[in-house]
Chain A
Amino acid sequence: MIEAERSEAPASPGERLYRWLDARFGVGRLVEFARHKEVPVGGHSMLWYYLGGTTLFFFTVQLVSGVLLLMYYQPGEATSYESIRYITAKVPFGWLIRSIHCWSAHLMIASLVVHMFSTMILKAYRKPRELTWVTGFALFAIALGFGFSGYLLPWNELSFFATAVGTDSVKSVPLIGQWLLEVMRGGPDVTINTLYRFFALHIVILPLAMVAVLSAHLVFIQVQGMAPGMAHQRPDRPGLKFFPDFLARDLLLWLVCLIVLAILVYLLPYGPGIPGMEWELGKKANPLAPAYPGIKPEWYFLWIYQLLKEFPAHLFGMEGPQAALLVVTVLMGIWALVPFIDRRARKGQPSPAFTDLAIAAIIFMAYLTLKAWDIGGKGLPGKLPDPRATAWVCAWITLGLASGIAVLRILAYRQRWMVFSGAALLQVVLNGVFGMDYLIAGGIALVFVIAGLVVASRKQPSVQVGVPR
């Protein structure tokens, strides 16, 4: 040992530091691990492996811009709105920091959603990575919580009413609904106390939760490595080294994201102007004023908002909102537990049913989101949009989207399992094109699903030919 040291050239400061740390903390093991870390290659586009990183990047941007905003933001009846006005109008580059924070929030959630669907379709959740999926789902919920709590902090008209509408649905939770409502709002109505609670949620509670769950998520990935493609499609190719190759590409993508963010912030400082995605400061919240016309929650909540509107006042002995919340809970539960339900993927076999389930989810949420935007409803100032006209136009748009996806699947990937997506599309067509009630159409679609599953289980394994996912 001593001979080896003496025979080498004088060590650089960096090397000396490394050796000092290694002797005390075994840093060398970490370096060895990093040197051998690889990203799987083959089977599908490498693009999908970057999406978790972009989500993390946007979250980091949120953290930094959020801390900067915190330097000037003051929660309070006379100061919440005023301090944000001060930041955007007077503080040098305050407009930039605030706009970055708003844009990056939406980009983070968009990136998260694409990341979630890509891992779903590529079956990255299969054994042994079930808990990575579950923690990922928890991160999704936390991110939505961030979005919802942060939205109220400017204390302007839009956020006040959006929060009132959003928190209202909580009272439909059985047994603890009213209690939950009052705890969330800090009282029966939305007041400045609600803002104080949301502020605590936004800057302490959720960040702590995020850090904890994110650490778990990342540790799982380090220990298990990134998910390779399915066995049947993975040619025997060596992986791409994480350090420095993948990391370099990752950093380049993050830089591109930053550039895109800068351009968006400059061109559209208040958002693209789509309802549910706009953040002009507007007027200060006035709890005594009547509700804002055309109030909409943020775009990622629109499908729940629309679903609540589709339910009648009472259904099967429950109140409408309660039934709707039950449906949403069941769907989310299925989604969270997908790794444990998908037996074929667990065995490493192609699982086209779950790919189809992901497509069905996209169709389901897209249709509701489009309807929530009143697209095609011919709404004018003073005239409410016509729900029938909206449903018609949105149904055709969704049909177009779904057809495109189906053609892609059949031709490019030779998939033929369409039961779930077919059922979702059936509901869309029955409701939008033929005017059937949304829930009745849903019932018919459910029957279709059950029938399809029964038929499929009769026809045994080799129902799919080709290379499905």
Chain B
Amino acid sequence: MRPLLPLLLLLAQTPPASPPDDGKLPATVEKLFEEKEKDGKPILGDAERAYLKKLPLHTRELIGKDVDALTVGGARHLKALLALELSSQSAAIVFSDNCILCHSDPESQKKIHLFSADPKATQSNELLNLKNFVSDVHFRRGLSCAGCHGGSPEKDVMTPDIAARWPKADVRHMDRTWIPEFCARCHADPSFMRGFNPSLPTDQLSKYKESQHGILLLQEKDSKAAQCVSCHGVHGIRGSKSRQSKVHPQAIPETCGQCHADAKYMAGYKKDDGTPLPTNQLEGFKKSVHGKALLEKGDLGAPACNSCHGNHAAMPPKVNSVSQVCRTCHSQNGTFFDGSKHKQAFEAHRWPECEKCHGKHEIAKPTDALISDAPDGLCGACHAQNAPNNPECNATARYFRSSLDDLVGTSQRLRPEAEELASRGLDAEPVLASLEELSEAIVQTRSRVHTFDRGGFDQGAKVGREAVAKTETLVEGARKEQRYRRTGLLVSIGLMSLLAVAMGLKIRELGRRRSGGNGGRRNR
């Protein structure tokens, strides 16, 4: 009996049955539906009613309580909130957060403090975009206003600690040095961040301190320098994988360009050697092969600013490390270059390897024209000054160039021929396949230019020449087939025409035979 007693007690404690959900709105909310605009039209309509009906009962009751407590100030306020089209979970969060409720009431907030779904339309503070905020990564993880600003979302008044957290308004807009430490309170705390996103790095602040922006802001107290908020935003922060994020790879060039492409803003900043910091990088990047790949083709594998400069530790790569950065993708060209004569020469002169010939921001798609022995060409300009009297270099350049021109020229000549063969009904597929092999060989041969050595180059050129020979054989074979077909046709037409002539004569003979007996009339 004794063991049964707790069981009986447990069974006796059945929870009260919850009232069935009849979809009715709380009375206070219903009353709001009676409010009308100045022109007599009701403020809230069927759309809002339908949306409210879809919310679960507890959320509707929550809204009812808010209306009762005046945290939802009226029909216009409710309409503004419902216009966000929140999911029921987000709605539950919003309607229990008094900070948001108060600050989104168009009838009681000053424009400078008003959170609205469309700040342009309400002519309010453009940083206070409610639609962005409910997609913000912090908000979605449960860190709402109070998490940064202080105070408590359950209270319906602002508490003194809110003002205590921040420097005064006029100060904090002029002096931005407090921002990195503020964000780092959470983001540099590994045990805290582990509770939210264990794989997110927590070294941003330490990296930032060593970056150019960090040095300017924190050591030289230059508030024009970028800090967390400049790139990530405030109320609409999204992860870098989101296409709407300011730090998505395709958005990064513009985000960096906000300052770095603005000549007025960057006036006064100088490079290490004293020359002014250029502001044409963004423009150059957009024209470059990397910029086109990233921004026009949508190739997310192409580098944005941070791929070469770093994110939080952003600094222009030092001269001797530029090429290391390029090698993260262009490793084969890097390996070839390392084995070449140029490597020693460039190290001795302390030149930034890849950049010297290809540029850094406005990297154009390389063409074979870069390789030439012309005195004013890319090679010539350097060699004239630093390595004159090296006739074998000129000869090598000429050899590279002529080999590539041959391969490319053959490819361009044979492709239309292949297409013409195809349109004549011949089997052009082997030719097209061989042309593709040739194209691949050309790519490899161009890469091998970086060996600056005939032997290394020839390993690629040899494959190319074999592909050329193969293609030409195939084209010749197809042409032979074409001639065979033409001959065959002419022969068979000839034979059939012979028969046709014979038949025609026979018909005439038949007619004549008949007319010999019939009195001379021919039929056709």
Contact = CB atoms under 8 A, between A and B. Distances in A.
A and B touch in the complex (CB under 8 A): yes
Contacts of B473: none
A158 to B, nearest CB: 16
Interface stretch (B20-28, B94-102, B495-503): B495-503
Interface string A238-282: 001100110011011001101100110010011000000000100
Contact of B514 (A99, A245, A280): A245
B500 A259 contact: yes
Given A90-B427, A256-B500, A46 B523 contact: yes
B485 A266 contact: yes
Interface in A42-64: 46
Interface string A205-244: 0000000000000000000000000000000000011001
Nearest to A99: B425
B492 interface: yes
A252 B507 contact: yes
B503 A245 contact: no
Contact of B510 (A90, A99, A245): A245
Contact of B507 (A95, A99, A248, A263): A248
Contact of A255 (B426, B503, B510, B523): B503
B275 interface: no
Nearest to A45: B524
Interface string B420-438: 0001111101000000000
A89 B426 CA distance: 7
A258 B495 CA distance: 12
A88 interface: yes
A95 B493 CA distance: 18
A164 interface: no
A203 interface: no
Contacts of B500: 252, 255-256, 259
A99 B485 CA distance: 13
Contacts of B504: 252
A41 interface: yes
Contacts of B506: 248
B388 to A, nearest CB: 53
B514 A248 contact: no
B489 interface: yes
Given A252-B503, A252-B507, A255-B499, A89 B427 contact: yes
A252 to B, nearest CB: 5
B64 to A, nearest CB: 48
Interface in B475-524: 485-486, 489, 492-493, 496-497, 499-500, 503-504, 506-507, 510-511, 514, 523-524
Given A240-B523, A245-B523, A262-B489, A89 B499 contact: no
Given A90-B427, A255-B496, A256-B500, A244 B510 contact: yes
A259 B496 contact: yes
Contacts of B514: 241, 245
Nearest to B506: A248
A204 B417 CA distance: 41
Contact of B493 (A89, A99, A249, A262): A262
Nearest to B524: A46
A89 to B, nearest CB: 4
B497 A259 contact: yes
Contacts of A89: 427, 429
Contacts, number: 55
Interface residues of B, number: 24
B503 A266 contact: no
Interface of A is mostly: helix
Interface string B312-343: 00000000000000000000000000000000
Contact of A248 (B423, B425, B489, B503): B503
Nearest to A249: B507
Contacts of A41: 523
Contacts of A88: 425, 427
A278 to B, nearest CB: 11
Contacts of A280: 423
Interface in B395-450: 423-427, 429
B424 A269 contact: yes
A88 B524 CA distance: 41
Contacts of A269: 424-425
The winner among B424, B425, B493, B504 for most chain A CB atoms within 10 A is: B425
Contacts of B429: 85, 89
B427 A258 contact: no
Contacts of B511: 245
Contacts of A85: 429
A256 B497 CA distance: 8
Contact of B503 (A95, A251, A263, A270): A251
B62 to A, nearest CB: 46
B66 to A, nearest CB: 49
A394 B178 CA distance: 76
A259 B493 contact: yes
A256 B503 CA distance: 11
Contacts of A252: 500, 503-504, 507
A262 B496 CA distance: 10
Contacts of A270: 423, 425
A247 to B, nearest CB: 10
A255 B524 CA distance: 17
Contacts of B493: 259, 262-263
The winner among B489, B506, B523 for most chain A CB atoms within 10 A is: B523
The winner among A88, A241, A263, A266 for most chain B CB atoms within 10 A is: A266
Contacts of A245: 507, 510-511, 514, 523
B503 A258 contact: no
Contacts of B499: 255
Contacts of B503: 248, 251-252, 255
Nearest to A244: B510
A46 B425 CA distance: 38
B427 A266 contact: no
Interface string A64-97: 0000000000000000000001001110000100
Contacts of A99: 425
A258 B496 contact: yes
B168 to A, nearest CB: 59
A446 to B, nearest CB: 43
Interface of A: 41, 46, 85, 88-90, 95, 99, 240-241, 244-245, 248-249, 251-252, 255-256, 258-259, 262-263, 266, 269-270, 280
17 contacts: A41-B523, A89-B427, A89-B429, A245-B507, A245-B510, A248-B506, A252-B503, A252-B504, A252-B507, A255-B496, A255-B500, A259-B496, A259-B500, A263-B489, A266-B485, A270-B423, A270-B425
Given A252-B504, A262-B496, 15 more contacts: A85-B429, A88-B427, A89-B427, A89-B429, A90-B427, A99-B425, A245-B507, A248-B503, A252-B500, A255-B503, A259-B493, A259-B496, A262-B493, A263-B489, A263-B493
Interface of B: 423-427, 429, 485-486, 489, 492-493, 496-497, 499-500, 503-504, 506-507, 510-511, 514, 523-524
Q: When A and B form their complex, which 4 residue pairs have the shortest distance between CB atoms, in order from nearest?
A: A269-B425, A89-B427, A240-B523, A252-B503
